[in-house]
Amino acid sequence: MTEQKIIFFDIDGTLLTQDKKLPTTTKDAIYKLKERGHEVGIATGRAPFMFENLRRELDINTYVSYNGQYVVLDGKVLYTNPLNLTSIKKLTETALSNHHPVVYMDHEDMKSNVPEHIYIKNSFESLKMDSPTHDPHYYHGRELYQTLLFCPDGEEKQYDERFIDLDFVRALPFSVDVIPKGGSKAKGIEKIIERLGFPEECQYAFGDGLNDIEMLSTIKHSVAMGNAEEKVKGAAKYVTKSVENNGIYYGLQMVGLL
C-alpha cells in the first residue's frame, strides 16, 4: 500500500479559478487522492462559513481557516488563536480616522463597522459573495479570528508599524487580512501535523497568494500555482500550471501523487 500523505490546498486561485469555479480536473484529482487513502485538507484565509459548500462538494472535513487562526480536524475544532480585542478597538479607531473601513470576523459570521463602502463592495464581489451587514459593535465580547482592513496598497504599512501584536497581510487590491502576530497557515497546519504525526516527507501544500508564502516555504513538497506572483513561486519547491489550466491535476502528477 502507498504510504499515506497529507495534502493542503489554498482556495482562491488554487482550488478555485478567478471566476470562483472548481475545475472538473481539480475535483477529480481530490477524489483520487482520497480514494488512495491520503488525507486532504484546506488551508485558506477565508472564514469557515465562506467555504461550506466547497467542503461539502469535495468531502473535506479538515481545514486551516483564517490563515491559521481557526483549525478543524475531521470536523472538530482543534486549535484557535483569537485576536487581542484591545488592539482591535484601537485599530478600529485609527482606521476610522483614516476613512478605512473594517470588517470583524468570528467563526460564524462577519460584520462591517460602516454601513457600506466601495472597497468592501468591490472586494466581496471579487469573491462572488455578498458584503457583510453592518454592526460596529460586533467585536465586543466575542472571539474574533481575523479582521479585514480596507485600504489601498501600501497604506497598511502605517498600521503594521503601530500595532506590534498584529500582522497585516495583503489579500486583495483593497483588502488586508489582520491576524495575530506570527499567525499563519503554516502554524495552523503544524497543529494538524502534530496530532496526526505525518513525517515531513509526507507533507504537501499548494498555494498562490502572499498569505501562502510561509506555508510553501515550510512544507517540504510545496507547489505554487502558475498564476502566482513570482515572490510566491520563489517560496515553493515546484511550480505547476495555472488553476485555469488544470494546475492542480498537473501539479499532483508532478510530485508523484497521481
Residues taking part in catalysis = 10
- Helix pair 24-35, 247-254: axis angle to 10 deg: 40
Pairing of strands 102-105, 110-112: antiparallel
CA gap 107, 78 in Å, rounded:
13
Q: Yes or no: say if 119 and 151 are a contact pair by the CB < 8 Å rule.
A: yes
Pairing of strands 221-224, 203-207: parallel
CA gap 129, 212 in Å, rounded:
22
Pairing of strands 6-9, 39-43: parallel
> What residues contact residue 166 under an 8 Å CB cut-off, 6+ apart?
83, 84, 87, 91, 159, 160, 178, 179, 180, 181
Q: Other CB atoms closer than 10 Å to residue 116's CB: what's the count?
A: 10
